[in-house]
Structure 1
């Protein structure tokens, strides 16, 4: 089994694998090109996004976008990613319709091994993230691996989402 196959089946894998490294480099090159385009170059931005994010039906993505692979990001119509959104898509990251993602949000399907020795060996694990229709993630939100956020939910600014949320949930930072 290849490291890519291990990654996509949510097993531990080595992210330093040559194939995975090449895939990430290609995505990072496209992210760089996208982020260097003048905001008024809408056609060019859409064209570049179509190659970077082939499984995204329609999206408006602001400057500063970063992802690991791009091909593992799936979205229905109406996705909005504000400035400086980062998606670590070692596993599938799925967005429903009309999802709003605030600035400086991190959606991290990938994490390092919890054991120090295995972490130093470079072992990683990715788990799919699912974000339902009409979800709003506020500024500086972090979504961790394996999380599902139900439809119509709102996650307030600076919240770390470490477990799944049912539909129609409002999650805010506690005082």
Structure 2
């Protein structure tokens, strides 16, 4: 079934974003965007944030280890300083391999020990929220934005977005695509090349296009396979 936009603002989501995220664009279009209401992506505040953050991610990619005197701690601190200006919420343990790509950056919230490999793409027109201990393989995409299926509606320049919620201790193999409005439960494993269009239960392995559950793991199995004693 094609997704459809919401018709009203989501006050709870707007309040959460304003209270918990940094680097947010101002204006009504932002509130419409994260609420799932159709919005004009050419809005000046949205456009300025996109242009600014795209240059920030370019600068992040160009940070040189040698410019930190080959000091790992200094280099990591320089990277984190950039990430704090790009992302909405992060922990000092956040590690993202360059290059990576965002629409706004400010709608991304990551927990502790977050790792994303090369060429991760976050189209964060709505909120993308990650728990703790998330591993992301290369070339993965998290897509919140979508468009009307009616071509006459698309021609009006409107789009809308649905949030993505990712639980803790999740793992994404290479080239995974997560589509708008998806929730992925704690401990889930998403096999390489998977396209995820529906919610993924906790402690499961999914694979395929579209994704299907191929294995259920009890919490005890998950702990054993990941070397956890408790």
Structure 1, unaligned runs of 5 or more:
none
Give the aligned partner of residue 121 of structure 2.
86
Give the aligned partner of residue 100 of structure 1.
135
Q: 1:29-68 maps to which residues of 2 (within 5 A)?
A: 29-39=55-65, 41-57=75-91, 58-68=93-103
Q: Take 1:75 and 1:45, find their aligned partners in 2: how far apart are those partners?
A: 15
Q: Take 1:54 and 1:4, find their aligned partners in 2: how far apart are those partners?
A: 14
**8 A Cα contact 1:112 1:122, kept in partner:** no
Give the aligned partner of residue 52 of structure 2.
26
- Give the TM-score normalised by the residue count of structure 1: 0.94
**8 A Cα contact 1:97 1:134, kept in partner:** yes
User: Which shows bigger deviation, 114-123 or 36-45?
Assistant: 36-45
Question: 1:155 aligned to 2:194?
Answer: no
Structure 2, unaligned runs of 5 or more:
1-26, 210-230
Answer 1 or 2: higher relative contact order, Cα 8 Å, separation at least 6: 1
> How far off its partner does 1:36 sit?
1.2
- Give the TM-score normalised by the residue count of structure 2: 0.73
> SS state of the match for residue 51, structure 2?
helix
Rg larger for: 2
Q: Take 2:31 and 2:153, find their aligned partners in 1: how far apart are those partners?
A: 19
> How far off its partner does 1:158 sit?
0.7
Aligned residues: 174
Select the structure that is richer in helix: 2
> How far off its partner does 1:114 sit?
1.6
> SS state of the match for residue 121, structure 1?
coil
